[in-house]
Structure 1
Amino acid sequence: MNTKVLKTLEYNKIIEQLISKTSSRMGKELSSSLVPYCDIDTIRSKQKETSEAATMILRRGSLALGGLKDIRSSIKRLAIGGDLSQVELLNIGEVLRVSRHVKSYAKSAKDSNTANNLDTIYGLFDAIEVLNPLYKEITRCIISEEEISDDASHELYNIRRQMKVSNGKIKEHLNKIITSSTYKNMLQDPIITLRNDRYCVPVKQEYRGSFKGMIHDQSASGSTLFIEPMSVVELNNKIKELFTKEKQEIEKILAILSSMCFEHKEELAGNMKILTEIDFIFAKGELSISLGGTEPIFNNDKYINIKKGRHPLLDKKTVVPIDIHLGREFTTLMITGPNTGGKTVTLKTVGLLTLMGQAGLHIPAFDKSELAIFDDLFADIGDEQSIEQSLSTFSSHMTNIIDILQNATDNSLVLFDELGAGTDPTEGAALAMAILENLHKKQVLTIATTHYSELKVYALSTKGVENACCEFDVKTLRPTYKLLIGIPGKSNAFAISKRLGLTDNIIEDAKELLEHKEIRFEDLITELEISKKTTIMEKEKALKYSKEAEELKNKVTMQREKIQKQKDKILTEAREEAYKILNTAKDDADNIIKSMNKLRTNSDNSKEMEMQRSKLRSSISSLEKNLSTGIKTKKANTKSPKDLKAGDTVFVSTFNQKGTVLEPPNAKGDVQVQLGIMKTKVNIKNLSYVKSAEVNYNNKAPKNKNNISSKSMSISPEYDVRGRSVEEALGELDKFLDDAYLSHLPQITIIHGKGTGTLRAAIHTFLRKVKYVKSFRIGKYGEGESGVTIVEFK
């Protein structure tokens, strides 16, 4: 791809942004050399790298690669058998430290299940060699660029210990000299100084002959001499020797470390290459996130479809996104409209996004935008926007256009800005049409901007060529920067001039100077623009309604599923509770009958009790079967019952349950019915006769003693014992409690009246002895107060 277009479309500024995201010198070098690829498989692979890096950053945070040093020259020195310096070994240690950090970053991502669909990135992570023994040895021996650890070797430790002892002796001896009264007047200052790596004292010039020692230096004025006393010369010599030994030992340590690095030079070179690649890839990921980029879809069909694309060098908060497509219905797009309307930005956006995509970088556009693969991209875009263009400018543009025509192929993208401008309008328009026709015949994808009306007509009349315009708001005299494909743009010169204050008579004179067909053409453009905008608005509205309908449908479906799950859950819980109650009832019934059998000594009575027990279990099992299979709703009798009276047993179709009539129907046909513990009014139309025996505990027990299922439907939850003696009341109450309990009534009300309280006390004493009574209490206000007792069963 020609390098000129990279500069024209400011591709280098994108590369500068990419470089700023890298951490190492090698990563910056790799970024600066990035150019667009032309192979679709390579492009998709590079795009996948960028996507994986962006995903990793968003999930796990940025990958810190600070401290990644350039050790390429050190590896070359190792390859020829050379030893490394202290600084070079430290740099290798830094590379190994970064390797450890990258491995740890990768492991933490894997542990948190972030590694899904990140094969490329993890392939690089896995290829890194940590080399822990080498890293530990380097960090153990070398503290900094100037300091080797005392523990780097046993010999170095001994040498430095001796140096410390010798230094202590010298300083002790010199301290005696500078504090001695003998030498007090001879010294310029009572201090110890170092000259040529030897300890000295500052002696006045006039005492040169009196102070014995070796002169190593003198002050600038010559008044002070730095003399090494003869008494410490031997100690200084020893320290000098120790310095030499220390240097030799350090060189030996560095040689050993260099030898260890030599053994791993291949792994070090591999790590260096991989870490540089990771630095570069993660820089692409960081750039994608900062631009709000997405991975485009690539094709070899020369089709471009950019959705809400933004120029990456403009402020993403203020730039107006564009939708542009090219390559299917038409191969040439003619963009017209006023200056500063966004035509040039549109050209540069398409060109720059194409270059970025082919370079493996994400583009700032909506997801699933499509780009074609081009072997080359040509652009003739000038920054000069002046109306008065010189001949030299026209010549420069024409030279560039000639080069484009000679080199463009059917696999190229060509961008022209103000094609044919800078010369006579008639000749310029003719040249522009000829140039576009030449490229159109060669099936070269072309986007051009122009002011010429002739080119608008050319686009309208030529198959495969389409008009487009950058929208302009005449009311505000401002461009909207929106691209409308399908209609040509107006120059709006008359409208703008009128808004700026030009008088109507001048504008009318100008219109008369135009041919009628030109005026009609401009009016047609206006109509097309209005129609296009209306269509786009209706389309957006339809899409919005469609989206809302889809969301509503999904909500209804989810709600329906939720209700069904709740319904199933409630039914399951109800069945489980019913089975639990039934099992409890079975066990209680068995226990009661067994107890009664033990109390009966007569064999005849025992047989009768066993038969009753079998009937009781059979009835309960029948009830269990009904619960497990569900209750089948009975149809209401079509004929309403007549002559209903209190005590009649009826079937209530609206509740799918039997009940007892409490009061005959009123004038409206409403009947008060007792349903279990509930009293309600039901219209006579929803009632039908039940032929089973009547149940009335105020008189006699029902004949069918063993039909517990029907009993539970009609038994009264209230029992009135007023007016009876204690013996009569307790005898009847015992039987009523058994039937009420077996009918699964949760509670009953015993009406005993207030009176003297004797009957109430006797009933309470009796209730305390009944095992299946959970609790009992005096009625509350509204329930009958002390005249009733409320009994709750277990």
Structure 2
Amino acid sequence: MNEHALRILEFEKIKQQLMHYTASSLGKSRIEALFPSGNLDEVKKWQEETDEGATVLRLKGSVPFGGITDVRPALKRSKIGGILQAKELIDIADTIRGSRLMKNFISDLVEDRELDLPILMELVMTIDPPGALERNIRSAIDDQGGVMDSASPALRHIRGQIRTCDSRVKQKLESIVRSSGTAKMLSEAIITIRNDRQVIPVKQEYRGSFGGIVHDQSASGATLFIEPQAIVDLNNQLSEARAKERHEIERILRVLSEETAEYAEAMLENVDALAQLDFVFAKAAYGHQMKATRPKLNDQGIIRLKKARHPLIDRERVVPIDVVFDEHTHALIITGPNTGGKTVSLKTIGLLTLMAQSGLQLPVDEDSEASIFRHVFADIGDEQSIEQSLSTFSSHMTNIVEILKEVDFSSLVLFDELGAGTDPQEGAALSMSILDAVYGKGATIVCTTHYSELKAYAYERPGVMNASVEFDVETLSPTYRLLLGVPGRSNAFEISRKLGLPVDIIDGARLQISRETNQVDKMIASLEKNRKAAEEEEEKARKLKLEVEAKEAALTKKLNELERSKDDILKKAREKAERALKDARQEAEEIIEDLRHYKKNGQVKEHQLIDAKTKLAHALDSLEQNNSSASQQPVQKAASGFQPGDAVKIISFGQDGYIVNKISDQEYLVQAGILKMNVKAGDLKRVKEKKKVKPVVNVRTSGQTVRPELDLRGERYEDAMLKVEKYLDEAMLAGYPRVSIIHGKGTGALRKGVTQLIDRHPRVKASRLGAQGEGGSGVTVVEFK
């Protein structure tokens, strides 16, 4: 790709805008290296990944990139044996966590929404976050980059010594400072620090009263900062303990750095994947901001840009243009007045081509198409070189000579004011010859010009199309619209007449120009008139279409409302019938219960009970049919062909049973519980035999039932963390919605470790400390998703 074209088309500004949408320096580094590709397959993949990113942003709104930083320098230093600082290690832990969240985010989105995101999934599948390294770093270093007491037993012991020594030194000095006998000897009753030693400010004349070591003096010399002899030994012990602390911290950082080195190669691959993801989502977010769309792609020189907007011009001010290069058009000659938008149109075509070849979506309407070129050349603007003593014309010719050396059939060439800066006749002739040479090599050309001869050039050459930027003669201002197929007019006579130039002067001027030129101007004027008439008709048709669509939408809405009303009526009817059926069944059950009571007391015979049941069955059957009719459900057809042993349901009773014997084609003897009865075939429905339900078995681990709480009191920190991880998995398998972890209050180390582990667990929904009656701050309650 031609560097001069990238610069003159301001591709670098596009990259600068794109950087605003990155989440880290990782994405910025990818954008800095961004360069348009001339390979169709590669560009298609880039556009596909941008489209996948746009799909994710459309569904989720944002992407979890928090905590991810460029840790590649630290990883590379660890590989060569360097000792990493605590802040570098915590950045590595944060990046591991961020990579895990990103992987889960994309994977869950694909699984939950059943999306097809092959490129993003391929990227996240290469991410393998080393969780053990993250846990080891976080167990030793806090979020502010400080090494914690829990990093090692030795460090905890040393810091205990430091606190003890420091406390004893302070107590000793405070007793000296507060003593009434020494108050007059001190400049101030304070304890301060000099050379990392605790000292007191003593007046010069009392130097010998304290002994010890003088570490500093005031500017006047009247005050000496003395470490009294009474605390020299204690301060020495404190200094020794602090030296041990530094050595232990260095040892801890060395161990963590060595462990980091083991994962460095995998981590570098993870960071590369994260950099690409940041880049992809930056492209997607930039496209969303521009209201851009994904273009179709080809490598045949076919360009169809609908309502294309220059991305560096304010959307409220830019005028969209349509650009068409079909199978038969390979050159576009744009004419029109100065400041009418010719150069902007030319730059829009070039810049959007570069953006498409960089995997960026374009600020165009849907169904637009871009072509992939191996080379994009541009000769635009006044590039006069004072250093080389070249005129504007010479500068353009020097650039054009270089273009002619490299141009081929897979090139897009942009000429702005081709042949300008020299004699008009010679410039026009030279322009046509240059266009012939470039066109002959099969290149795609966009050329702006003032030369009227080039208007005829487009008519005489197949594959060359005229275009112009529109000028409103009434307002004497350009509209910046690009008109395809219509050459531009100078409009000099119309403008002069509007500005008040006498008509006889204008008529005299008309006589000075050739008859052919007049005919061309009249032809162009006629074309413009016909175009405007066609646009007006198109606008009328568009409005009519909108009216028809609005009426269709209103009718559809009314139909939907009628359907909803119909459904509501049917629903109410069904509910009413179901209530009536429920009431009837309840009444029937009460009658049967009364009959049983009478039978128990000897007041009714068995055949009377059966007769009563039969009557109730007929009543319920009638009610079922009425209910079915009310709800517009088909009446259950009489089943036939039952065999002894078939499982059936007595519809009127809602009771299951089985066929004992066939009495006739329309009647069967049915056993229902303890009762045998004759039942009509129409009152029977075949059912499947119920499967036996297996008893629920509690999930057990190592032969023990999982309890709803885990007691960690008295456990060592490392053992406790392992138990918590194992217990959370077992509790989820056991189906508990929430569990309690008892860690006690103590120093708070166990609680902090439990909280950090829970926060990283992918299946934990929330956690909190125990409430009153639950153990308070000595218990953490965990809720699962």
Answer whether TM exceeds 0.5 for this pair: yes
Superposed CA deviations along residues 437-465 of structure 1, whole A, max 9, x for unmatched, are 22222222111111111111111222221
1:314 matched to 2:323 = no
Which residue pairs with 1:336 in the alignment? 335
Which residue pairs with 2:524 in the alignment? 525
Which residue pairs with 2:369 in the alignment? 370
Matching residue's letter, 1:83 = I
1:83 matched to 2:104 = no
Per the normalisation by structure 1, the TM-score is 0.68
Which residue pairs with 1:503 in the alignment? 502
Within a 5 Å distance, the mapping from 1:365-764 to structure 2 comes to 365-382=364-381, 392-542=391-541, 545=544
Superposed CA deviations along residues 580-635 of structure 1, whole A, max 9, x for unmatched, are 99xxxxxxxxxxxxxxxxxxxxxxxxxxxxxxxxxxxxxx9xxx9xx99xxxxxxx
8 A Cα contact 1:498 1:504, kept in partner? yes
Matching residue's letter, 2:31 = S
Superposed CA deviations along residues 440-494 of structure 1, whole A, max 9, x for unmatched, are 2222211111111111111122222111111111001111111111111111111
Which residue pairs with 1:633 in the alignment? none
Alignment partners' CA distance in 1, 2:145 and 2:75: 22
Alignment partners' CA distance in 1, 2:171 and 2:369: 83
Matching residue's letter, 1:332 = A
Matching residue's letter, 1:34 = L
Alignment partners' CA distance in 1, 2:568 and 2:58: 40
8 A Cα contact 2:69 2:91, kept in partner? yes
Alignment partners' CA distance in 1, 2:290 and 2:556: 38
Which residue pairs with 1:730 in the alignment? none
Question: How far did residue 146 of structure 1 move?
Answer: 5.9
Structure 1 residues 556 and 68, CA gap change in structure 2 (3 angstroms): same
Alignment partners' CA distance in 2, 1:24 and 1:498: 60
8 A Cα contact 1:327 1:445, kept in partner? no
Which residue pairs with 1:230 in the alignment? 229
8 A Cα contact 1:374 1:412, kept in partner? yes
Alignment partners' CA distance in 2, 1:526 and 1:329: 26
Question: Secondary structure of 2:453's match?
Answer: helix
Superposed CA deviations along residues 18-69 of structure 1, whole A, max 9, x for unmatched, are 1121122222111011011111111111101111112211210122424322
Superposed CA deviations along residues 114-137 of structure 1, whole A, max 9, x for unmatched, are x51222223323332233332233
Which residue pairs with 2:169 in the alignment? 170
Which residue pairs with 2:193 in the alignment? 194
8 A Cα contact 2:383 2:392, kept in partner? no
Question: Secondary structure of 2:244's match?
Answer: helix
Question: Secondary structure of 2:337's match?
Answer: coil
Within a 5 Å distance, the mapping from 1:137-152 to structure 2 comes to 137-143=136-142, 147-152=146-151
Question: Secondary structure of 2:208's match?
Answer: coil
Structure 1 residues 391 and 100, CA gap change in structure 2 (3 angstroms): closer
Which residue pairs with 2:129 in the alignment? 130
Aligned positions, number: 584
Question: How far did residue 522 of structure 1 move?
Answer: 1.1
Segments of 5+ residues of structure 2 without an aligned counterpart are: 581-621, 631-785
Alignment partners' CA distance in 1, 2:457 and 2:72: 60
Structure 1 residues 192 and 146, CA gap change in structure 2 (3 angstroms): farther
Alignment partners' CA distance in 1, 2:329 and 2:391: 34
Which residue pairs with 2:93 in the alignment? 93
Question: How far did residue 529 of structure 1 move?
Answer: 1.2
Structure 1 residues 235 and 410, CA gap change in structure 2 (3 angstroms): same
Which residue pairs with 2:9 in the alignment? 9
Question: How far did residue 569 of structure 1 move?
Answer: 11
Structure 1 residues 177 and 381, CA gap change in structure 2 (3 angstroms): same
Which residue pairs with 1:253 in the alignment? 252
8 A Cα contact 1:391 1:422, kept in partner? no
Which residue pairs with 2:39 in the alignment? 39
Matching residue's letter, 2:363 = P
Structure 1 residues 277 and 576, CA gap change in structure 2 (3 angstroms): closer
Alignment partners' CA distance in 2, 1:8 and 1:431: 23
The structure number with the bigger radius of gyration is 1
8 A Cα contact 2:109 2:115, kept in partner? no
8 A Cα contact 1:156 1:246, kept in partner? yes
8 A Cα contact 1:187 1:203, kept in partner? yes
Alignment partners' CA distance in 1, 2:102 and 2:188: 57
Question: Secondary structure of 1:264's match?
Answer: helix
Which residue pairs with 1:650 in the alignment? none
Matching residue's letter, 1:208 = R
8 A Cα contact 1:297 1:369, kept in partner? yes
8 A Cα contact 2:90 2:145, kept in partner? no
Structure 1 residues 505 and 64, CA gap change in structure 2 (3 angstroms): farther
Question: How far did residue 297 of structure 1 move?
Answer: 0.3
Structure 1 residues 108 and 146, CA gap change in structure 2 (3 angstroms): closer
Deviating 4+ runs (over 4 angstroms): 543-578
Structure 1 residues 435 and 174, CA gap change in structure 2 (3 angstroms): same
Segments of 5+ residues of structure 1 without an aligned counterpart are: 582-619, 629-794
1:65 matched to 2:95 = no
8 A Cα contact 1:216 1:226, kept in partner? yes
Alignment partners' CA distance in 2, 1:146 and 1:233: 32
Structure 1 residues 167 and 565, CA gap change in structure 2 (3 angstroms): closer
Question: Secondary structure of 1:31's match?
Answer: helix
Per the normalisation by structure 2, the TM-score is 0.69
Question: Secondary structure of 2:329's match?
Answer: coil
Question: How far did residue 393 of structure 1 move?
Answer: 0.4
Which residue pairs with 1:646 in the alignment? none
Alignment partners' CA distance in 1, 2:204 and 2:568: 109
Structure 1 residues 201 and 561, CA gap change in structure 2 (3 angstroms): closer
8 A Cα contact 1:471 1:481, kept in partner? yes
Alignment partners' CA distance in 1, 2:567 and 2:245: 86
Structure 1 residues 561 and 28, CA gap change in structure 2 (3 angstroms): closer
Alignment partners' CA distance in 1, 2:59 and 2:199: 64
Alignment partners' CA distance in 1, 2:467 and 2:182: 100
Matching residue's letter, 1:176 = S
